[in-house]
Every structure is written in C-alpha cells, then in structure tokens.
Amino acid sequence: MLNIAIVEDELPALEKLKAQLSRVCAHALLFTYQSVKACLASSELSKVDVLFVDINLPDASGVSLVKSLKQLGFKGECVFSTAYSEFAVEAFTIGAADYLLKPYTDERLSLALSRVNDKLNNKTSEFQETEEYSLVSKVGVKVTLVKVSDICAIKLEHGQAIAYGSEVSYPLDHSLDELMTLLPSQFLRVHRNGIVNIKEIKQMDRWVTGGYLIKFHQSEVEVISSRNGGRLLKDKLMR
C-alpha cells in the first residue's frame, strides 16, 4: 500500500484525483495541502511514498517545492499533475517519477503509479545498509575508503563536502545532492549545508533560528539544522 500526499489548490482537480486514486490503487492519503508553505511544514513528509504536485500553486511553483524537499532529504517520489506541458523537462531533470497532463485517464494514472513503484523498489535494493558500503575520499594521490557506518555528519564547507567520523574528517568529491542519492536511509539532510547520520545523534538543542544544534556520539562536529530540516528530523526520530 502506498502512502500518498497531494498538493493541489484547485478543489475540483483535487477531488477528481482522489476519486481516481481510489479506483486504481490501494493507498493511504496522508494529507492534502493547497500551498508550498503548508506542505513544507507538514510533520508527515517522512512517511510519504509519492507526492502528487500541481505546478501552479498560490505561493510558489510545484517545481520549487520538489527542489526544496529534495534538499531536505525527502525520500519519496514526486509526480507532477498539471495542465501545462512546458515544465516537463525541468520536472524530469529534478527527478520526477512522472508528469501527468490534465485531464488524464485512470489508465494513465495507473502507469504513473507503476513507474513510482518501480523507482521505490529500486531504491529499496539500492539503499540496503551494509557495513562494507563506503565512499571514496581523495587527497592528492591518496585514496581512502570511508565506511558509511563510520560517518556522523557531512557538511558543505567552502564548496567542499566533508565527512566527519571519530576524530577524522574526509573530503568527498560528491555534492550533497549526489550524496543523498548514495547514502542509506539513516542519513537525513537537515540543512542545505548539512547531512546527519540519525543513528549517531547524541543530543539536539533548540537553536535561535528555530532549528536544532545537533551533537554526535563519535565526533566533536556540530550541525545546525534549518527549521524545516529540524521538523523532518524530529518526525523521523519519533517513528
């Protein structure tokens, strides 16, 4: 069963999608929102398997919403549902599972959900957490394999991703966006400049910006979350 959420500001379109979903798949509808702001504030985001997003929303575009979610480490799939075809290339560029042009049939919706399931199944096998899984760190001619399980946090510092472990730090060639596609599920992006290993968190203190100051068991490094990143982290820790 899929956990589904919808961001759609037009009530007729929302009701039609809900009716179509009830006909084509077994699912739980976690929430429906009419704005980007409301979606980003949701405490249910970490539970969402697939998010249906309209392109034209009152406060921002659906594309900007998906970009923000991915920066925060959102693991679900996104399907755009819109009357406008001109945003399709950008949607697929940022990783959309599908792009539905209104009005669409039940059969077309079923195809989109089939694509979502394929991507979710691939993620499940791809993100299997093992002690042997490593990232590569290169400094000059020296190459080091860094066990993912040894990493407490990854921070972007002066444009360089740095992985922090117990008393050791390693520069990585990947961007934080790329790293979030490689790391297993215990890693969460809590800020545009920071990723944390949830299993290594020792302490979280409220920060003046509305997020959290995060400390770790095996490292002296500290990460400050954004407000939305802190909300996602708190929600995931409570699951």
CB-CB contact of 105 with 112 (8 Å): no
Phi, psi of 176 (to 5 degrees): -65, -35
pLDDT in tens, 61-71: 999 999 999 88
Q: Which CATH class is domain 2-126?
A: alpha beta
Domain with CATH 2.40.50.1020 in the chain: 134-237
pLDDT digits (tens, 9 = 90+) for 160-189: 999 999 878 999 988 898 888 778 878 999
Q: Across residues 28-32, what is the average pLDDT?
A: 95
SS3 55: coil
pLDDT band at 127 (very low <50, low <70, confident <90, very high): very low
Q: From residue 207, how far is each of 39, 104, 210, 214 by CA, in Å?
A: 23, 46, 6, 9
Mean pLDDT of 132-137: 74
> Residue 119's pLDDT is what?
81
* 43 pLDDT higher than 50: yes
Alpha-carbon distance of 187 to 122, in angstroms, equals: 18
List the structure tokens of 71: 């920066």
Residue 125 has pLDDT above 60, yes or no: no
Per DSSP, the three-state class of 92 is: helix
Q: Is 187 helix (H, G, I), strand (E, B) or coil?
A: strand
At 200, list the tokens: 């290594």
What local confidence, expressed as pLDDT, does residue 203 receive?
92
Amino acid code (one letter) for 196: V
CATH architecture, domain defined by 134-237: Beta Barrel (2.40)
> pTM for the full model?
0.56
Task: Locate CATH 3.40.50.2300 in the chain.
Answer: 2-126
- As a whole number, mean pLDDT of residues 23-27 equals 92
